[in-house]
Structure 1
Amino acid sequence: MNTLYLLLVLFSSGSFIIYGSLLLVSNKMQNEFKRFGLEKFTKLTGFLELLGGIGLLVGLKHGLILLISSGGLALLMLLGFGVRLKIKDGFWLSFPSFFFMALNVFIFLTLFKLK
């Protein structure tokens, strides 16, 4: 595993651990889900992001877990991007979900090629 790939996995992992944790405890973050009309999915999304972020770290030692975690996070971000488009958020508000989707697709496909 090269250094750039490792850094990308660590960046994605840290981002999802932080964001997922904030979704579970921060009223400001939870209010965003109200704005999306998805309030009942806030805790589930936070848990899945936290689990995915931890899975990326564990996956550095166990490739299958990295594959599942990166694929799951990519799917979650695809759905998030779709929600942003549906509620007509602008480019800059939609960009993070697209970026993290693309990043996790890259992690997934790179690992898939190695297997």
Structure 2
Amino acid sequence: MNYLLITCVLFSSISFAGYAISYFILPNMKNEFERFDLKNLGIFVIILEIIGAVGLLVGLFYNPLLLLASGGLALLMFLGLLTRIKVNDSLLVSLPATFYMLLNAYIFYLGFMQ
């Protein structure tokens, strides 16, 4: 198996799981959704991130799921980036969404090439 793919999947999966957990622990995470005027979508986005994180891990053994999870997370991060642009966040603040969008697009590419 491709060790680069495994490393990228583990990094992305752990990151999204950590972000999802922090949503329930840190009050500023919920405040971000309010700032984006997406308060009602907060829990939905977190559920999608958890499903995506698990999907990436399971996807290491079942490639169609890897493609679905990585594509879904890349799309989710693209929408997150658009949201940050809409609220005029700085480039520095928008870098994590950009990074994870590109990382999951790369995972999708690696999974597609298998």
The bucket for the TM-score relative to the shorter chain is over 0.9
Once structures 1 and 2 are overlaid, which stretch shifts more, 2-11 or 21-30?
A: 21-30
Query: Unmatched 5+ residue regions in structure 1?
Result: none
Aligned to 1:21: 21
C-alpha displacement of 1:25: 4.4
Q: How many equivalent pairs are there?
A: 114
Q: Matched residues in 1 for 2:63 and 2:46: separation?
A: 23
**What is the one-letter code of the residue matched to 2:21?**
S
- Mapping of residues 1-115 of structure 1, within 5 Å: 1-114=1-114
C-alpha displacement of 1:92: 1.0
Once structures 1 and 2 are overlaid, which stretch shifts more, 104-113 or 20-29?
A: 20-29
**What is the one-letter code of the residue matched to 1:80?**
G
Encode CA deviations 1:40-59: one digit per residue, 9 max, x unaligned.
Answer: 11000011001100110111
If the length of structure 1 is used for normalisation, what is the TM-score? Answer: 0.94
Runs of 4+ that moved beyond 4 A: none
C-alpha displacement of 1:4: 1.8
If the length of structure 2 is used for normalisation, what is the TM-score? Answer: 0.95
C-alpha displacement of 1:38: 0.6
